[in-house]
Structure 1
Amino acid sequence: MTQTPHTAPPTSITLTRTGARTYEATNAAGATVRVGGEGALSPVELLLAALAGCSAIDVDVVTARRAEPTRFEVTASGRKSTEGGNHLEDVTLRFALEFPEGPEGDQARARIDNALRASHERDCTVSRTVELATPVTFERVD
């Protein structure tokens, strides 16, 4: 059986300048996050957070059905390179997951590797978009 590709409606945020090199991103539901400036995440850090958050949700959904984690931390890192224009290299997500002793914890631990693989190969929209090198269009609106 062949699966028909599905394209969801566009997802968007609006980024508004709030001061010198500081911005606020707002989604359709009204949630906001500060970008840049003192005490806020940089755009690169937000990209790493999006990568980590997307895969964390994928893995959490699968493992937490069996047992609540006692530790669930994802570290996203990358090395900035200027060769060929600014970009990140060696982007890595490291999952530190622990579950309680017992059958439920064992079931959760047994699903970690498959959940990581599924997130990386199919489910995480953010990492899949980065890895597929999706073109980005810049448009000026007057």
Structure 2
Amino acid sequence: MKHKVELSWLGNLAFETNMDGHKMITDAGIEFGGEDKGLRPKKLMLTALAGCTGIDTALIVKKMRLDITDIKVSVEGELTESQPTYYKNMHITYEFFGKDLPHKKLERAVKISEESQCGVSAMYKQVIPVTSEIIYHEE
């Protein structure tokens, strides 16, 4: 199987794509000559990781029939200082909300996602360190 995305130039530094029926615009910031019309491509790498592991974790939590009221996933990437800048590492924070949260089962759900389900994580881990932590919010 292959995936393909196609972007159309909107002028200056902005591009638009229609991915699976969802429109998305990418652009550079004003400080780099763009017009701030859309998302930054590099930050989409963080979004891809958060989205991939978030979907996996939510599916696993659902299959485990755990009573969770909310899940938040954030990813922070540290950029190199020299050009071209790229992420030299990424850190995922999973936040679970609910009453009497089953810590061991949630840790297992995250582990399954990170070690055998999330293709974005698997790819990134081949080139940079990817770490994670879990924060519990007991209601």
User: What's the TM-score once normalised by structure 1's chain length?
Assistant: 0.72
1:45 & 1:132 partners in 2: Cα distance? 19
Q: Residues 73-123 of structure 1, C-alpha deviation per residue, up to 9 Å, x if partnerless?
A: 11111111044742112311101111234xxx54xx432111211222221
SS at match of 1:13: coil
2:51 & 2:11 partners in 1: Cα distance? 27
1:60 & 1:87 partners in 2: Cα distance? 29
2:7 & 2:68 partners in 1: Cα distance? 35
Structure 2 residue runs of 5 or longer lacking an equivalent are 28-34, 128-139
Q: How many aligned positions are there? A: 119
Structure 1 position 12, deviation (Å): 1.5
Structure 1 residue runs of 5 or longer lacking an equivalent are 1-8, 134-142
The counterpart of 1:46, out of the listed 44, 47, 50, is 44
SS at match of 1:86: coil
SS at match of 1:59: helix
The counterpart of 2:113, out of the listed 100, 119, 126, is 119
Give the aligned CA root-mean-square deviation in angstroms.
Answer: 2.1
Is the 8 Å Cα contact of residues 26 and 37 (structure 2) preserved in structure 1?
no
Greater percentage in strand? 2
Structure 1 position 70, deviation (Å): 1.8
User: What's the TM-score once normalised by structure 2's chain length?
Assistant: 0.73
Amino acid at match of 1:93: I
Which residue in the other structure is 2:25 paired with?
34
SS at match of 1:34: strand
1:39 & 1:93 partners in 2: Cα distance? 27
Structure 1 position 130, deviation (Å): 1.7
Structure 1 position 64, deviation (Å): 2.6
